[in-house]
Chain A
Amino acid sequence: MFQILKRTFVTSNSYVPRLTALPNGLRVLTHHIPSISGTTGVWVNSGSRYEFEHTNGVAHFLEHLMCRRAERESGGKIASRLEYLGAQLNAYTSKEISAFYLFHNWSSHPEMLRLLANLITKPEITKQVISSERNNILSEKDQVESILDEQINILMHQACFGASTLGRTILGTESTITNMRAKHLHDYHQKNFIAPRMIVAAAGPCEHERVVDLSRELFSNLKTKQTMVESVQEKRQLRFPFKGVFRQRKLYIPISQMPVAHYALLFPSVGWKDFHQCLIERIIQTNFGNFQTNITSFTNRVLQSQLALDYNPIMYPYRETGIWSFSAVSNPKAVKGFVTEFIKELEELSSSPNITNILNAKNSLKLSFILHRNNTFQFCEEATKYVFMSNRPPPLQEIFDQIDQISLNEISKYALYWLNGLKSFCYIGPETDIHSIYNIIYPNY
């Protein structure tokens, strides 16, 4: 029996993304995929690290106002139209990116891009909408901060980046949210939502030239450079010009009611500026594995000795810096054993890395690069990241070649640098003999 049917799919990574820079600096990125649906969005190189201390949270606040406008504008007509078409509007703010995107049936692409352009270039910032949105943001902040993992994430960034903008939260503090004024939002928009820092991205059955033409028409009124003048207070803060410098910190928060310990070892990362080094960090990350998807020899040792209930090596890469974190959850008595096992593994990597394990890690890493391009949104998300980093989305094969070129020697050197260099440690959980743990982590403690 042999039957052939026709069907449409999101298909291949072999289709190459296309990038065009418009005269005003706006970049248009498309990825042709022969599907029925697709993603259209605008990615902006802004985010919480471009905020001042007294306006911490403004990027996230602005994102809320832009999306809420879709619900209010024309008596809710935009929202009704999106609902009717089944198109889904989403947005997020991170430390370095603000993104606004729509998943939709591709036939409505021009209408969707028009809508996004309208929301992003002409935000409605009035006292009325700010005060109505403020409570939503405060309750979102409460919800986020009630999640232990989020609290740990915030603590990790505070420990490593201290008072610099990367050490602050994305949502802001209660005080900055409460005191957010229209001027702060206006200023932030004027400064950061400028053409050279924006990318219009589309993935689906798109024709590059049509998206470029439409973007040229819709985003022509964007500013081409920053024209804002900073206040005296802001100028003073510019002595810390958004630079994230990794610092060595020890953070110990004993909470007797907690049944298990949550802790993280933190190392400096090179960030996106050096992609090659970034790949080395990722190979080391993959070599450690995790309980969910990547059981490695290290994972098996941890499981067999019951050293951790869960652990996860995560990278937080930013433009020129970052954190390589190794967070774990353990019974309090097992923390010391787990940290010892981790340092032992890092020492092994620095002296004689196991070639089989490294090859396995390289394979897993390649697979994860492919799996991060699994739907039209991810195509846009990945490609824009590379365009912000190097003004070019590299083909997968190029990334794979770079991974293959990384030698055992380079991995050893990197592991040694982490062993002997700066590192931070955060601990939240029941009281424990923290000094004995510090003794393992810091040789000269």
Chain B
Amino acid sequence: MDKLLISKLGCGIFVSSVPLPLPLSVLTISLHGGPRYERDTSHCGIFDILKDLILTRKPTKTNKQTFREQLLKNGILASSSLQREALQITSMNLRNGLPAFLDLFTENVIRGDFSKDNLDILCNRKLESWSNSDKNGETIANDLIHYMSYHPFQPKGNNRNRNVLGGGNLGQPNFCSPSRIAKGFVGNNIDALNDLKLVGDYSKRHFVRENITVSAMGIDHDRLCQLVENTLGKLPSLLDNGQAMNKGLSGNALFKFVKGKYQIKESQYNGGGLCCVSDKANDSLESNQVQYLDGKFPTIQNLNHMSVYFPSHSIYSPNLITSLLTKFLLGGGSSYIVGGPGKGIETRFYQVLHQYHYLDKFIAQVKPYSDHGLFGVDTTFVGNNGLNVYKEIINQLHLLAQNNPKEEELQRAKNQLKVNLFMLLERREILTADFSKQLMYYSKINTLQELNEKIDNITSSDVSNFIKNILKGNPSVALYGDTSKIDDLKKEIPKHYFFN
């Protein structure tokens, strides 16, 4: 057993480490950031750009090397990832590279002036990847379902207007769409320069001490604390007088405090209904219900992507583990991924996948956030089968709500959940990312033993009750693909509204 050490530094940053004698050190910085912190509709995609731009730097008169070149010189491999309310930067380096990374990164963040050349290169690459990616359908369906669930306006009769996004909620898109890149970031016009400044402003605004948690492996804990104090500890505070630290806030309370400072409203589930976007590049803007998706998103396989979600539990809910277990119990998969024993081939949704020839993917998903969450199903299919797929999803969920799962099925889901966790956490960069995220949300780290106990304590009636509860919410449906024949689906969805 190895020791995990956690400290809260004088500067307010939570730090955890596993001081193993590794030949490399891995470090993850997690940050309260992401699209839900974008203040305005016109700021869509800023965090998506910041995620990549943060690992570049503007050359100075004395230092012509790019940030990447400096990292390379020190044997550092850095990457960044973006979720709706978290930005994570992970560095993997030979043992002596960590101080250099923290130094370079902090200097980069404090300066916050990014190079227009780097932005142009980045945007051109993003546009290129949009035009070639076969993941476009999944990406767009994922953003659509968030938009549908958390759009800021309540539905008003049949003429609901969902064309306008409000900033600061979970419905803000995760990605920077091609049209947004083309309109704003690329070129030398005033918009592009303003947007570059905006990215810098967001960087300065969010890289503050209260926002940051750090987790590392392969470094002595005291040494890490000292390094973080001397580098990231120099970042400004969210408040000049450091009130957050003085209040001794932690976990959810600290998170609420941070969100309050950024004027982030609690997310409200406004779902119920269908939101669709056509994948036909020739379709006019009017045929798409969501304005920000007015670009062209070629898909390679010509599949329809449909997601059906219900309101569920937040990250802080005691029922979060039940929702994760239910996901593994329902299971599912994709026809492209070669199946085989141990990959959920006996789960209910995997059986459904093989029952209908037109289904390509049918998989249960959980999307938990700090103040709300979603539980549902992601599907892809060919042809005009949206209504059939939707009915099958509702049917499967009702079946589970009405009959408790058998003990063997429940135990199988528990084992699969545990082994999947073990498998993920074998990777060092995933482990540090998980630790720093747990510190961000809870200000502590749950042990695997604690997690195993929670999983073992769930009963079959807990699972059925969980499904019964989520079925009390109105279903949100997002469809990306062929939207020419959706009238039947539109009529069907309200039939499952709880108050009908």
Contact = CB atoms under 8 A, between A and B. Distances in A.
Given A83-B341, A375-B427, A8 B412 contact: no
B419 A291 contact: no
Contacts of A70: 340-341
A158 B125 CA distance: 31
Contact of A5 (B93, B125, B336, B447): B447
A295 B69 contact: yes
A8 B18 CA distance: 10
Contact of B22 (A6, A13, A105): A13
Interface on chain B toward A: helix, strand, loop, or mixed SS?
mixed
A14 interface: yes
A89 interface: yes
B93 A12 contact: no
B475 interface: no
A123 interface: no
Interface stretch (B1-9, B264-272, B460-468): B1-9
A87 to B, nearest CB: 5
Interface string B224-259: 000000000000000000000000000000000000
A7 B4 contact: yes
Interface size for chain A: under 10, 10 to 19, 20 to 34, or 35 or more residues? 35 or more
Interface in A9-33: 9-14
A360 interface: yes
Interface residues of B, number: 63
A367 B340 contact: no
Given A79-B346, A84-B408, A371 B92 contact: yes
B75 interface: yes
Interface string B260-295: 000000000000000000000000000000000000
A7 B448 contact: yes
B6 to A, nearest CB: 5
B155 interface: no
A355 to B, nearest CB: 12
Given A5-B445, A291-B125, A303-B121, A79 B20 contact: no
Interface stretch (A34-42, A215-223, A418-426, A435-443): A34-42
A12 B93 CA distance: 15
Given A1-B7, A105-B419, A89 B69 contact: no
Contacts of A6: 1, 3-4, 447, 449
A352 interface: no
Given A8-B448, A295-B68, A86 B24 contact: no
Given A79-B346, A83-B412, A84-B415, A295 B121 contact: no
Given A1-B7, A11-B20, A295 B72 contact: yes
Nearest to A369: B23
A370 interface: yes
Contacts of B198: none
Contacts of A432: none
Contacts of B21: 12, 14
B66 to A, nearest CB: 7
Nearest to A361: B72
Given A105-B419, A293-B79, A374-B428, A5 B6 contact: yes
B315 interface: no
A80 B346 contact: yes
A11 B21 CA distance: 9
B73 interface: yes
Contact of A9 (B5, B431, B449): B431
Contact of B20 (A2, A12, A295, A309): A12
B362 to A, nearest CB: 17
Given A83-B342, A364-B75, A367-B93, A9 B18 contact: yes
B419 A375 contact: no
A105 B20 contact: no
A237 B495 CA distance: 68
B426 A105 contact: no
Interface centre among B74, B415, B418, B447 (most CB of A within 10 A): B415
Interface in A294-327: 294-297, 300, 303-304, 306, 309-310
A143 interface: yes
A444 to B, nearest CB: 36
B418 to A, nearest CB: 6
Nearest to B72: A360
11 contacts: A6-B4, A9-B2, A10-B428, A295-B69, A296-B72, A309-B128, A363-B72, A367-B93, A370-B22, A370-B94, A375-B426
Interface of B: 1-8, 18, 20-24, 66, 68-69, 72-75, 77, 79, 92-94, 117, 121, 124-125, 128, 217, 336, 338, 340-346, 408, 411-412, 415-420, 422-423, 425-429, 431, 444-445, 447-449
6 closest residue pairs by CB, A with B: A363-B75, A86-B419, A88-B342, A37-B422, A86-B415, A375-B426
